[in-house]
Chains A and B, each alone.
Chain A
Amino acid sequence: MTGSDSSVSIGFCCFEGEEPQINQQSTPAEITTPIIALKGASKSYGAVRASRNVSIELRAGEVRALAGENGAGKSTIVRMLAGVQRPDEGDVLVDGDVAAFHGPADARDVGVAVIYQEPTLFPDLSVAENVMMGRHPLGSGRRIDFRALNRTVKELLDRLGVKLDPEQPVKGLSIADQQIVEIAKALSFDARVLIMDEPTAALSGHEVERLFGVVRTLKERGAAVLFISHRLDEIFAICDTVTVLRDGEVTHDGRTADMDTDELVRRMVGRELSNLFPKLDAEIGQPVLKVERLTREGSFVDVSFEVRRGEIVALAGLVGAGRSEVARAIFGIDKPDAGTVTIDGVELKPGSPTQAMKAGIGLVPEDRRQQGLVMEMSIERNMGLTRLQALRNRLGVIGLGSEARNASDWATKLQLKFQKLSDPVGFLSGGNQQKVVLGKWLATGPKVLIIDEPTRGIDVGTKAEVHRLMSELAGDGLAVLMISSELPEVLGMADRVLVMHEGRIARELSRAEADEENVVRAATGQVAA
């Protein structure tokens, strides 16, 4: 690791006063050959173009931010740099030469390490053992030489400037410290490039500072860092340069010091909002679902709102802002610590999905395969699961063919594409599986339908169908609470948008007020002007 001083351009980029200095030093920084770079890289998954002609350069002693909305193509870039995927077109350059990564091991060999949001360590082993996993120094008789092991790791940690006891088990460490252990592990492989994929998502402010201290040390030691975060203030606090992505394309590549939050947000979202998902005007009636001061510790705090007949309310925000958790608490999957949920004025018993269901709530969950459906069960039985009581005949048994009739009704209404209703639901495509989940809840005749990520992972055609269906349902007087990470969906479908940030409703926007900038600002914790 021999980082030239000239490449270290900015100490604390957020200090405006340092700007002239930066400009002076910027020239030498651009001359150095990037350690790793993508040049004109494109990558498609089926019909989806995840990356288009992307170029990005990571230089020694530079912290670069990768910014973009959910689905802008950040992960694809990480995967290409880490050797998990190869670009369809374009090249990966290592030290200026074209390199063909055949797998993550190739990337690791040239010094690329990825630190993920959730550390993947062995909780019962010590810090030192985790760092040197599989490469323990051996003493006589091929026993592990713990003294040498601890000494080596101590040196590594010292170089990072952190005080951590190598002999301590990982179990008791904070997530920030666990990430530092991951970083030490990467350094023990002589990593020159560190890719940090939302490392701060699970960290508190104090822990973020601790992590940033390590990142600064790394930078001074000449490592190249790629930093991914949804928190814009962090990008300005730690990064020298930023690459902004939108729909798989690089929309901006420059110094963080040369731009402000406003501009960054604009570059991230500046897409034309196509009218793909128009919600038809529906007569909005009385409030049906009322949530008051709902709190669940560690997930969300003091959440209050209501949804009226015929209305689609979107719960927007970043992944991890607590949106799905609110939905789970309303439906009774989790028990809230405080607050109430009422349907048509009747308060629900907390923590009982059965009660919530009886009161008229339906929940189309986020994870179709794990929560929405029993994959090995047939289509008809899955659709019947929410209506087991209604399907009983006079004798109390489920009559022959009653499930099939129930299912075929909804299959027709939802234009489900299937071969036999007795086929396992796992045989269907993602979009059709989603229709089955929708069907199983619509069959209960709900007053309130909560839909968590209505169109995640489904094809464009079915997506439009789902949106049309939601619009029709609202037209028929259903109250819909939609959670979505896709901004166009939020803006196109919602009558009102509630933006969550770190467990709280940060802002409520009417349909007229809601635009991409407003939503992204609120979601990233930028106080609205």
Chain B
Amino acid sequence: MSEVKTRLARWETVTVFLLLVAILYGATTSGEDFLSGGNLNSILSDISEIAIIALPLTLIIVAAEIDLSVASVLGLTSAVMGYLWNHGWAMEMIIPAVLVMGALAGALNGVLVTRLGLPSLAVTIGTLAMYRGLAYVVLGDQAVADFPQQFTDWGFGTFAGTQIPNPFVLFIVLAIVFGVVLHMTGIGRSIFAMGANEEAARFSGIRVKRIKFWLFVVTGAMASLAGVVYAFRFASARADNGVGLELSVVAVVLLGGVSIFGGKGHLLGVICAMLLLGTLRNALTLNDVSAEVLTIVTGSLLLLSVLGPSVTARVREALRRGRGVDPPPTPTTT
């Protein structure tokens, strides 16, 4: 009984509730349009890149670090794809090449954070500007839009006769991998431990720096993968692909109940939050709300996500104290 109540007061539950409200809002204001298979497809499709990047970023934030350069890595990936394609590379070669490049971009973040001991917030704000700048250097302001059709078809297409977009299927596969790593392996336990108390993690023999470094590398590679998806989905590679996307990704992770201070969170919460963001933006778009307002909504969700968990934590605490049903167990020894 009391267990149910504490569970109810968890932030993840609030996210699920908000998701249901958003769906209800979409369904009542735009009716059939909203509930059509085609629209569900576009909800999932629209959040593909956010969703893919949110996976490694969840791990990074649980480890009490952050990576704001992800959207710039995405843009740089698009630009390099366009550049290499213009220079006659085969797409089969380009994809692994840009993934390696993304990993290297992440490795630079990782080196700066773990070897030089710089705060990841500062480092990745720096590389956010740097990688985006590089993207413009590589491709200028041209757009490369003549990618082979088999790839762009994949970006637009749905999976084996369902309404689920191909990129989202990719996401589901990755989500399972990341979910298992974070919640069921030693690496995941280490990430939680170092996020909550880095010193104690070190004193437990956990290779804190090494894990952090690889987290940045993986995040870079995943941001690159998102860049590939983005380029195919829009059939266009431009240096400004995905500008400002990092805001949405961070919003989704925090909204999903991951603590900005590290050490707390669950990937399922993050997945709920990305569906919430997608649904809400979609429903608003169907109601002809402007793009500027959508940005305001994203910003508000970000604020809500930072405020929310501490509010629910207080509610939970109050419930525990007020009822006296579920007091913190007091040890018998003194």
Contact = CB atoms under 8 A, between A and B. Distances in A.
**Which of B186, B199, B206, B207 gathers the greatest number of chain A CB atoms within 10 Å?**
B186
| In the complex, the 3 A-B pairs of residues with the closest C-beta atoms, listed nearest first | A388-B186, A357-B205, A419-B329
Interface stretch (B98-106, B110-118, B190-198): B190-198
Contacts, number: 93
Contact of B186 (A46, A370, A373, A392): A392
Nearest to A47: B334
Interface in B126-181: 180
A201 interface: no
B328 interface: yes
A423 interface: yes
B201 interface: yes
Interface stretch (A97-105, A244-252, A378-386, A406-414): A378-386
A398 B212 CA distance: 21
Contacts of A391: 186
Contacts of A440: 204
Given A385-B206, A418-B331, A429-B331, A392 B185 contact: yes
Nearest to B203: A371
**Which of B192, B193, B203 gathers the greatest number of chain A CB atoms within 10 Å?**
B203
B203 A365 contact: yes
Contacts of A331: 203
B189 A427 contact: no
B200 interface: yes
Contacts of B331: 417-418, 427-429, 432
Nearest to B187: A388
B182 to A, nearest CB: 11
Nearest to A389: B186
Interface string B200-231: 11111111000000000000000000000000
Given A353-B203, A353-B205, A423 B329 contact: yes
Q: How large is the interface on B (under 10, 10 to 19, 20 to 34, 35 or more residues)?
A: 20 to 34
Interface of A: 46, 331, 333, 353-354, 356-357, 363, 365, 370-377, 381, 384-386, 388-389, 391-392, 396-398, 417-420, 423, 427-429, 431-432, 440, 459, 461-462
Given A333-B202, A427-B331, A431-B333, A375 B186 contact: no
Interface of B: 180, 184-187, 189-190, 192-193, 196-197, 199-207, 263-264, 328-329, 331-334
Given A391-B186, A397-B184, A427-B328, A377 B334 contact: no
Nearest to B205: A357
A368 B306 CA distance: 30
A432 B187 CA distance: 27
A356 B185 CA distance: 22
25 contacts: A333-B203, A353-B205, A354-B205, A363-B203, A370-B197, A371-B199, A371-B200, A374-B200, A374-B201, A374-B263, A377-B193, A377-B196, A377-B263, A385-B189, A385-B193, A385-B204, A386-B205, A388-B190, A388-B206, A397-B184, A427-B328, A427-B329, A429-B334, A461-B333, A462-B333
A363 B204 CA distance: 8
Contact of B185 (A354, A377, A398, A461): A398
Contacts of B332: 417
Contacts of A392: 185-186
B3 to A, nearest CB: 11
A462 B328 CA distance: 21
Nearest to B194: A374
A405 B229 CA distance: 44
Contacts of A388: 186-187, 189-190, 206
Given A374-B200, A374-B201, A388-B189, 16 more contacts: A333-B202, A353-B202, A353-B204, A363-B203, A373-B197, A374-B263, A375-B196, A375-B197, A377-B263, A381-B192, A384-B189, A385-B189, A392-B185, A392-B186, A418-B329, A418-B331
A374 B193 contact: yes
Contacts of B206: 354, 385, 388
Contact of B197 (A374, A459, A462): A374
Nearest to A353: B205
B203 A372 contact: yes
A427 B327 CA distance: 10
A519 B266 CA distance: 53
Contacts of A381: 189, 192-193
Nearest to A352: B207
B186 A398 contact: yes
Contacts of B202: 333, 353
B184 A398 contact: yes
A370 B200 contact: yes
Contact of A432 (B186, B203, B333): B333
Nearest to A388: B186
A329 to B, nearest CB: 13
Nearest to A419: B329
A523 B201 CA distance: 32
A505 B200 CA distance: 28
B203 A377 contact: no
Contacts of A363: 203
Contacts of A419: 329
B263 A398 contact: no
B192 A377 contact: yes
Contacts of A398: 184-186, 189
Contact of A417 (B189, B197, B199, B333): B333
